[in-house]
Amino acid sequence: MLTLTYSIDLIKDEARHLVENGTLNCHQPISSICRFFPARERVQIEKELELNQFLLRDQLIDLVNDPYWDND
């Protein structure tokens, strides 16, 4: 059985793709993306999110929004 490693960047990219193409709404909980990953990988994804300070109840916008700080 092949086990993939999901980095936070890969998870963010997938979430961004799902929001951009309208599959998910940016105000849905992060847990909404779990159904788009294989069931056997979901625990790993949840752990990676937790390690990066994301909760499954947080909104997707928190995950896909890369804050840009403009130096005035």
How many Å apart are CA 28 and CA 44, to the nearest integer? 21
* Residue 65 pLDDT: 85
Please compute the mean of the pLDDT values over residues 57-66 and round it to a whole number: 91
Read off the tokens for 30: 């992060």
* Residue 5 pLDDT: 82
Q: Where is 8: in which H helix or E strand?
A: helix 8-20
Q: Tell me if the pTM is above 0.85.
A: no
Name the DSSP letter for residue 22.
Answer: T
pLDDT digits (tens, 9 = 90+) for 16-61: 999 999 999 999 999 999 999 999 999 999 999 999 999 999 999 9
Instruction: Look at residues 28, 12, 25, 24 and name the one whose alpha carbon lies nearest to residue 64.
Output: 12
For residue 1, name the pLDDT band (cuts at 50, 70, 90).
low
